[in-house]
Structure 1
Amino acid sequence: MRVGAGTAAFLLSLSAIPISFLLNRVSAMDSPMVVFYAAAGVLLGLLLVLYLLVIGTPPKDPLFYAFAVFSFTSVIDLVISLEQDGYIKGFMGFYLKEGEPYLRSAYGILICYWDGTVHYALYLMMIAAITLRWSYRTVGLYWLGSMLISLVTLLLGTVVGKFGTEIRPAFLLNIPYVLIPIWAGKKIYRMPKALPRITADQIAMEQSKWLYRRPLDLVFIVYLLIAAAFTVFRGFMLVNMFYLVPFFGLALYGLIDPGCEWMPDLTVVFAGAIAQAQFSHIGASLHPRTAFTYRVPQDVVSSFLYANILFALGAQLLAVRCVTCSNFFLKGMPINNEELEKKVN
């Protein structure tokens, strides 16, 4: 019986559970080099099996194979986080010891949770879209932002942090996770945009409105100003500050000056990045693996949660606004000024 490409990718992703369980019981998995070769071999073997399963009707989009492999490692990451928090045992102990020990940190555990849930869902959505020949441009951009910020933060933090002396050969397995998203991002960005069916008159009418006639945008402008100040205030998270503050400035400009066609894409990418960053920041700040002196004090947990959740939620709502109501950001031919004034008023 022929297996569909999407079904094959899904089933292979679930094979991460028995494979990790069996590898954990191999006595030879006590050497960093053995763990590196075993992990690389599993990923290459997965690609080969996937290719053979879909050889009759191979997907035209090469990103299918990348997303299929990434969905496998997402399940691995979920197993890692569940095992580190004590919900299961006997699966990934060998890898955390001789592969990537920095994943035992609170931040590493939270990144694994995110990868094993949100990224996994995004991979399955994009795999399904590829097999059905649907567009996944917006989902792909959201994944791209989330993926890149998680990698940048984790890898830089590992190199300069306390785990910098515990880097094993398996650290090299992160190289494809840096290069492939860059390649994927270029392909996704070049996909055709789904533009609304509107006339140049409608675009001009929307773009002629002053801010007081766009109350929702006024709310978002207030959010962006507060979010920028909030980011600078907690500037000790330098990575976040250096990429978020410029984004807030560009988003403010895009909400004020009409015709910024890059605005919907930019907000989607940063919505993914901010969602991932805030999830990891909130979780790691409360996780028992974090040293007590760096955890959020109990008496301010509520205000900490409200501030950080609203910070993340604002970025998601801004992206939704820009994608679903994009008239203000489109370039169109202006109509006669007198006629435009009549229509607006």
Structure 2
Amino acid sequence: MKLRPVGGAVALFLASFPITYVLNGLASMEQPLVIVAVGFGALIFSFAFVYIPSRSQDPLYYVCMVFSFTAGFDLIIALGEDGIMSNIMGFYMKEGERYLSTAYGIMICYWDAIVHFALYLLMIAAIAERKSYRHVGLYWFGSIAMSMIVFLPGNVVGKYGTEIRPAFLLNVPYLLIPFWALTRIFAQPKTLPIVTADKVSEEQLKSVFQRPLDLGLMGFLLFAAGFTLFRGLVVLDCPADACFNYIHQQEPSLHDPVAYPKVQMLVYLFYVLPYFCLCLYGLLFPGCSWMPDWAVVFAGAIAQAQFSHIGSSLHSHTPFPYRTPEGAWWPVVLLNVAYAVGPQLLAYRCLRNPAFFSLVAARDEDKKKQ
């Protein structure tokens, strides 16, 4: 690993602390328009600071560097709101993005400052060494896309919807750039293990009962699909007794006025549920070559979503009536952890042994049948 680019990203991450300290002492930072101007100025300055000396041929290098810089601010926000350090981002929380003081806001700040920052370092190192970062990039895209898809609508429809400030626009690059990055990541050659035609044929001729790991994953997918549908019905105010009891006795956070949990469950219902159903098909029938890549994307998305959901349902910033009850703490947490771990195992299985998903052998088999 080349330490110089990685060290530069770490330096940018740490530079956010003294910069924030200086900004906190400026009286002008109490004005919303000044805050958004300084925010965009910081993004432009950090990009120029990285671009001028490096001249990397991969534009994602600059994205990772700039996002590493902003990840430091997210750590400052999270630590300040949790009382672990002085709240030197108080000016931003007051006139910038007040909703970041919610439990969900704190959780996504921690995730960005720790997990996303680690992924940026991995991608920066891979770019510096001219290696593929396809899988890391796909995982990062799934994670950051999920956070934005839930965070932005939640800000608008939740109880902070009437307090949107101009700083809300600072989130736009984090919504648009990842989708642009995805097109470049997909353009990279696939780096799956090389398998022979005989191995592909052997794997694709096996029934699901001869593939115990796939059988277990199918069991998880059936459970996850049912659980996703059930919680979707819960947040849609289904009058069934099971839904009523669940939202009052297990996960009252689903009716939290901040609306992030509700939006999260609706995203699960309309996007993740169809994905689970497609994966069931992909594990039953060979040749679904899309499975490895999208398994990584959804693994990142669900990991981020579940971390934020579990953490916010237990966090002290969530009002007591909406926190997970003590008596239901372990069952609810274990259920949600299992929901998060399953997609990680599915992604690992797809990348570790991709022969079953090879499209070539599946086409050859179809020709023989014809």
TM interval, shorter chain, is over 0.9
Letter aligned with residue 217 of structure 1: D
* 1:1-59 residue CA offsets vs partner (Å, 9 max, x unmatched): xx9433323312221111111111111111000111111111111112112332xxx22
Query: Which residue number in structure 2 is paired with residue 209 of structure 1?
Result: 206
Distance 2:194 2:12 in 1: 40
Distance 1:333 1:11 in 2: 49
Which of 63, 72, 76 aligns to 1:66? It is: 63
Query: Which residue number in structure 2 is paired with residue 121 of structure 1?
Result: 118
Percentage identity across aligned positions?
Answer: 52
Query: Which residue number in structure 2 is paired with residue 312 of structure 1?
Result: 340
Letter aligned with residue 131 of structure 1: A
Query: Which residue number in structure 2 is paired with residue 198 of structure 1?
Result: 195
After superposition, the Cα gap between the structure-2 partners of 1:302 and 1:335, relative to the gap in structure 1 and judged at 3 Å, is: closer
Letter aligned with residue 295 of structure 1: R
Contact 1:126–1:136, Cα closer than 8 Å, also in 2: yes
Query: Which residue number in structure 2 is paired with residue 282 of structure 1?
Result: 310
Q: What TM-score results when the alignment is normalised by the length of structure 1?
A: 0.93
Distance 2:41 2:360 in 1: 53
Distance 1:121 1:322 in 2: 23
1:265 deviates by 0.7
Structure with the largest fraction of helix: 2
Distance 1:196 1:101 in 2: 47
Q: Name the SS for the 2:83 alignment partner.
A: coil
Query: Which residue number in structure 2 is paired with residue 104 of structure 1?
Result: 101
After superposition, the Cα gap between the structure-2 partners of 1:334 and 1:243, relative to the gap in structure 1 and judged at 3 Å, is: closer
Letter aligned with residue 179 of structure 1: L
Q: Name the SS for the 1:29 alignment partner.
A: helix
Contact 2:208–2:284, Cα closer than 8 Å, also in 1: yes
Any unmatched runs of 5+ in structure 1?
Answer: 338-345
Query: Which residue number in structure 2 is paired with residue 343 of structure 1?
Result: none
Any unmatched runs of 5+ in structure 2?
Answer: 236-264, 366-370
Question: RMSD value over aligned CA atoms?
Answer: 1.6
Aligned residues: 332
Distance 1:244 1:118 in 2: 21
Distance 2:154 2:162 in 1: 12
* 1:100-159 residue CA offsets vs partner (Å, 9 max, x unmatched): 111011111111111111011001110111111110000000010110010010000001
Q: Name the SS for the 2:160 alignment partner.
A: helix
1:335 deviates by 12
Distance 2:42 2:214 in 1: 49
Distance 2:363 2:82 in 1: 61
Q: Name the SS for the 2:332 alignment partner.
A: helix
Pairing 1:138–2:166 present: no
Contact 2:192–2:351, Cα closer than 8 Å, also in 1: no
Query: Which residue number in structure 2 is paired with residue 331 of structure 1?
Result: 359
Distance 1:335 1:249 in 2: 22
After superposition, the Cα gap between the structure-2 partners of 1:335 and 1:46, relative to the gap in structure 1 and judged at 3 Å, is: closer
